[in-house]
Structure 1
Amino acid sequence: MINLKTVGKKNPQDVTAPQQFYAQAVKTGLTDLNRLAYLISNQSTVREPDCLAVLSALVHNMTDELSQGRVVQLGSLGNFQVGVSSEPSATPEEVNISNVKQIRLNYRPGKRVRKALETMDFKLIGG
């Protein structure tokens, strides 16, 4: 179950506008590579250190592939790709690396993850 809380936000483009209220997901903890390795090892015949080694290699190789401009496809988990936000220029010739203002990782969930997102349960808790 995903807990939601109510949060109020002002419009940064119109600070005189009344505050609006939104539902926001509340994190309930953190799962790291060690925890994932433990969980996977309990669901298979592979030992925990071996799972951790594979997950660590996955992170290393994903980083390397992403740094080469490749889309990393992880089956039903989804696709990962580097994206950028940049400042505009008046002409194509004026665009250069200094136009880049933010680098991000784009994630597009696979079918299985999308389906799981559609069927998750939510509960509104105190804000």
Structure 2
Amino acid sequence: MIQLKSLQRVNPRDVEAPKKFYVQAVGAGKTDLDRLAYLISNQSTVRKPDCYAVLEALLHNMMDELREGRIIELGNIGNFQIGVSSDAVDTEEEVTSNLVRKAKISFRPAKALRDLLQTVNYKKVS
């Protein structure tokens, strides 16, 4: 169940307009690598320390591959890729890596995860 709360905000396009209420999802706790290792170990014959080691190795190798500019494709999970925002220049000759203002890791969920959004339930909380 996804918990929701109301949040009053100003319209950034018209700061003089009356504030309106929006819905915001509220996190219901966190699941870390240790918990994922525990859950996976209870669904298989692999022990928790082995699952944890595999998850840590996955993280390490994902970081190495992203550093090399590769897209990480994790099947039914989705894809990870580094993207950048940059300043604009007038000519192609002026384009250099110094124009990068911000980098981010983009995640594009696979169909199975996107379809999950059609099946979740919502509940308003205070």
**TM (normalized to structure 1)?**
0.92
Give the 5 Å matches for 1:1-127. 1-126=1-126
Distance in 1 (CA, whole Å) between partners of 2:99 and 2:2 is: 38
Distance in 1 (CA, whole Å) between partners of 2:29 and 2:112 is: 23
Q: Residue type of the partner of 1:70?
A: R
What CA deviation, in whole Å up to 9, does each residue of 1:38-62 have, x standing for no partner? 1100111000000000000000000
Q: More helix by proportion, 1 or 2?
A: 1
What CA deviation, in whole Å up to 9, does each residue of 1:73-127 have, x standing for no partner? 111011111111111112222222222111111111111111112211111222x
Q: CA RMSD in A?
A: 1.2
Q: Percent identity?
A: 56
**TM (normalized to structure 2)?**
0.93
Structure 2 unmatched runs, 5+: none
CA shift, 1:13, in A, is 4.2
Structure 1 unmatched runs, 5+: none
